[in-house]
Amino acid sequence: MNYRVTVIIPALLVCALSLRSADAVPDHAGHKPASGLKKELIADITEADFLKLGSAPKTVRITLVSALTANNGGMNFNGYAKGAAAYVIPLGWNVEVTFINPSPVPHSVLVVEREKIRKPQLGEPAFPGAGVPNAVLGISMKKVNFTFTASQVGEYAFACGFPIHALNGHWAALEISAEAKVPSVKLGDAAPREAH
Ligand SMILES: [Cu+2]
């Protein structure tokens, strides 16, 4: 088998596998349904962890798990893709994020202005510290914490910074609101739930 054949055949196999993934979203090669997860990273995570009040005043704790399910080829946060999970944070609150990627496929998260999710690369976070370091490279089978202040009203997203992922739906909606008194999250068609 010559060099070209040995390279092309595995590449075609990867493409075929990625097209079989959930929802059949065409994306770049390398994605399979969420499998090979490092399960101990998410063993204790429940839906209550997706949004909780922090210990200090005006502090909220958010856990975002990528590839929690096979939805959208693993390009989801807590199982939701394409903004189907929607967070509202009151202006001025501190946000403590735990990001977990139990998957061997690299993912990341950073806060960006909502319109940026249409770009192949997301650039810098909208607020200082509002993302994992080197979001463009992503992490795999790891947990990272970061904290930021929701200091500007607007429509944002928690988006995966790995190239093309946000464009393919790897994002959750984030609104920073001057009217909201308590953080909330809406998951899919369920009613919004307030942090407590
Ligand atoms: Cu991703």
Find the CATH number of the domain harbouring 135: 2.60.40.420
Domain count, the chain: 1
Does residue 9 belong to any structural domain of this protein? no
The pairing of strands 110-113 and 154-159 is antiparallel
Residue 72 inside a domain? The answer is: yes
In the reported structure, the alpha carbon of residue 2 is separated from the centroid of ligand 1 by a whole-number distance in angstroms of: 34
- Residue 93 pLDDT grade (very low, low, confident, very high; cuts 50, 70, 90): very high
Separation of 68 CA from ligand 1 center, angstroms?
Answer: 11
The answer to the question of residue 25 being in a domain is: no
d(CA 109, ligand 1 centre) in Å? 8
Q: Is residue 154 part of a domain?
A: yes
> Residue 35: what pLDDT?
77
Q: Which CB contacts under 8 angstroms, 24+ apart, belong to 115-118? A: 116/157, 116/159, 116/166, 117/157, 117/159, 117/166, 117/167, 117/171, 118/166, 118/167
| Range(s) of the domain holding residue 42 | 35-194
Entry pTM: 0.82
| Mean pLDDT taken over the chain | 87
- Output the CA 179–ligand 1 centroid distance in Å: 31
Predicted local confidence at residue 102, as pLDDT: 97
Residue 13 is assigned to a structural domain of this protein: no
Residue 139: both structure tokens together:
């992490």
Q: Determine, yes or no, domain membership for 27.
A: no
Residue 60 lies in a domain: yes
pLDDT of residue 36: 86
Alpha carbon of 175 to ligand 1 centroid (Å): 20
What is the whole-number distance in angstroms between the Cα of residue 108 and the centre of ligand 1?
Answer: 6
Enter the tokens of residue 3.
Answer: 């060099």
Q: Which has the minimum average pLDDT: 32-36, 40-44, 69-73, 123-127? A: 32-36
Provide the pLDDT for residue 32. Answer: 45
Tell me whether residue 87 is in a domain. yes
Distance 57 CA to ligand 1 centre (A): 32
pLDDT digits (tens, 9 = 90+) for 100-125: 999 999 999 999 999 999 998 899 99
Residue-wise pLDDT tens digits, 121-172:
899 999 999 999 999 999 999 999 999 999 999 999 999 999 999 999 999 9
**Distance in Å, CA 1 to ligand 1 centroid:** 35
